[in-house]
Structure formats: structure tokens, C-alpha cells
Copies of this chain bind each other. A is one copy, B any other.
Amino acid sequence: MEFSLIDRIRQRTAQARDDVHLGIGDDAALLNVPAGQQLVAAIDTLVDGVHFPHGTAAADIGWKALAVNLSDLAAMGATPAWALLALTMPDAEAGFVDGLADGFAQLAQAHRLALVGGDTTRGPLALSVAVHGFVPSGHALLRAGAQVGDAICVTGTLGDAAAGLQLLQESGNTDAHAAYLIERLNRPTPRVEAGLVLRGQAHACIDVSDGLLADLGHLCAASGVGATLDVSRLPRSHALLDLLGEQASRELALTGGDDYELCFTAPVERVAALQSELARLGCGAAVIGRIVAGSGVHVHDADGQALAFERRGWDHFGA
């Protein structure tokens, strides 16, 4: 890691953790995984103009790069611990690095996560974050495990981030609703605490990063089951419904990416208790469908009428 930049980033992300034997500053970090815990590890990249609009504020980029990774830990029911940050940018602009580190640190501190190492390189703006957490051995939440008859639930609201992106690209709308949706795009809230509640309670879980249809499809494929979804029950924010109406908001809630809510399945009789527990965290959880025998995700309206959707979610290399 470039030394002047390291120091700037290190100063801004300082977070004491007893399990960090050696953090930033040597060839690698030295870390202690607590006894009885498994290490949970994931990596995700954000590319300028692909995963965030060009011109996004540095602090938002820093926040989001960590948020999308914490969301992966949340989906496993893991407690966050450490991150490595690989930052590529065209030139070493101190103000940009400071902003980015501040946004990263703001979210890191909320989860007591320590930045323990990294790399800064010259090139087109992009960030890869590798994140590490713990689960009690053998108790992670997985995509596999959904059972026929399970209720399918989703936290929070869907479609907001996709609407926020449309607003940024297509309109000059800056009212409160627009601001809310753009904030949802730029500052997603990883559902870490919800994941901890769901561990040992939900049968299967995935985070909604590429769009509900795509991600629920992954969960079903991993579990060897199918799903039916009632579009009328998709949780949507007041901002989304007010701005886009029922029909357009449904489409975004089904296919829009970047919301980083958790989609999970659980026995029907357990759902009410889980909803109460999540509500105590300030996290809504709506029942949106059922796990069925077979394969694929089948969407219907409130009357049971089948619906087809062309675009099934975010394809990183799609047309």
C-alpha cells in the first residue's frame, strides 16, 4: 500500500479490536479467530460508472464498498470483524481518499469492523473489499436449506435503489422522496443485526443485490425447490409508491438491484415471532410468497393470476 495514502486511511479508520494482532503496516495482517467460530469471508468490487454513477461522492463510495460486503456477511448470519481494502484510482488525490476513508469508517465503526490491510494502485477508479466475520461453527445461514411450505420473507423495502438510480440518470427531481431513494442507492444499510436474529431461525437466506427474482432464484436453485411470489405483497417504500405508482414500483421491486435487503425462508409458524424480533431492531419483514416443490420463481398477482417479467435482475455482463 502506498505509504502516504495508507497513513491517511489508517488514521481515519482506526478501530481497536483485541483479535487484531497486527493490522495495516506489514506485508499482511495477523488475526485471531475466536475458538469455536468459523471464519466467514467474501469479496466484492465496485467499479466507477458500473456499480455507482460517475461523480458519486467519495464518502458514499467508501460507505457502499463496505456495505455491499457486510451484506454478504449479514446473509450468512455472521458477525463482522475485519476488512481488506484494495483501492484503484487514477491519481492520488488526498481529498478524495479522505472522503472515501471517512465514508468507509463511518459504517465500519457502526459494526466495530477493523480495516486491517489494503493496497492502493493507479488505474481506473474501483474498490475491492474483502470482508471477514465469524459464525459459531456449523451455524451459518445458507442459500441451501429452504423447505417446501416455507414462507418467503424479505426485510425492509425493495426497488428503492433502482428508482434512485433512475432519478439520478433521468430527472432533476430533488424532492424529499427523490432524496430518500437516492440515499438508499448511495448508502445501503446492510442487515447485519437482522442476519444474526435469523441465524438458527431461518431455513435459508440470501441478500438482494442483483434483484429479487435473480437472487431468490439462486436461493431456490441451491435448495432444490421452487417459489411462488405474490407481487401485491412486495414491500415498497412510500417514496417509491408515491413517485412511481403500483405497477412500475412492482417491476423495480422484483428486478431492481442494489437494495441489500435479506430474502429468507422460514417455517410459516415461526414467522410472526421472527417479525416481532426484527421489528425490535427497526427492521420490517414482509411475507411475500411460499416455497414449493419444483424449480424456478413463479410470480402471480393478488388474484393468483400468473405474471411474466422479461428482465430478471442485474446481469453484470448483460446487453
Contact = CB atoms under 8 A, between A and B. Distances in A.
B27 A76 contact: yes
B128 A26 contact: no
Given A124-B123, A130-B130, A43 B85 contact: yes
Given A128-B86, A316-B2, A28 B45 contact: no
Copies assembled: 2
Nearest to A32: B38
A246 B299 CA distance: 73
Contact of A206 (B27, B73, B206, B317): B27
A40 B25 contact: no
Q: Which one of A45, A75, A92 has the highest number of Cβ atoms from chain B below 10 Å of its Cβ?
A: A45
Given A42-B117, A47-B123, A142-B22, A135 B72 contact: no
A226 to B, nearest CB: 18
Contact of A28 (B51, B73, B91, B144): B73
A41 interface: yes
Contacts of A9: none
A44 B119 contact: yes
Given A2-B317, A126-B123, A31 B39 contact: yes
Contacts of A46: 121
B317 A143 contact: no
Contacts of A280: none
Contacts of A295: none
A144 B120 CA distance: 22
A85 B45 CA distance: 10
A137 interface: yes
Contacts of A133: 28
B128 A119 contact: yes
A40 B27 CA distance: 9
Interface in A227-275: none
Contact of A130 (B49, B78, B84): B84
A41 B47 contact: no
A307 interface: no
A72 B118 CA distance: 12
A129 to B, nearest CB: 9
16 contacts: A2-B316, A26-B144, A28-B42, A30-B140, A33-B39, A41-B117, A41-B130, A43-B128, A43-B130, A44-B119, A45-B123, A46-B121, A51-B121, A84-B130, A122-B317, A124-B124
Given A44-B119, A47-B121, 10 more contacts: A21-B137, A28-B40, A28-B75, A29-B40, A41-B130, A43-B118, A43-B130, A47-B88, A124-B126, A128-B130
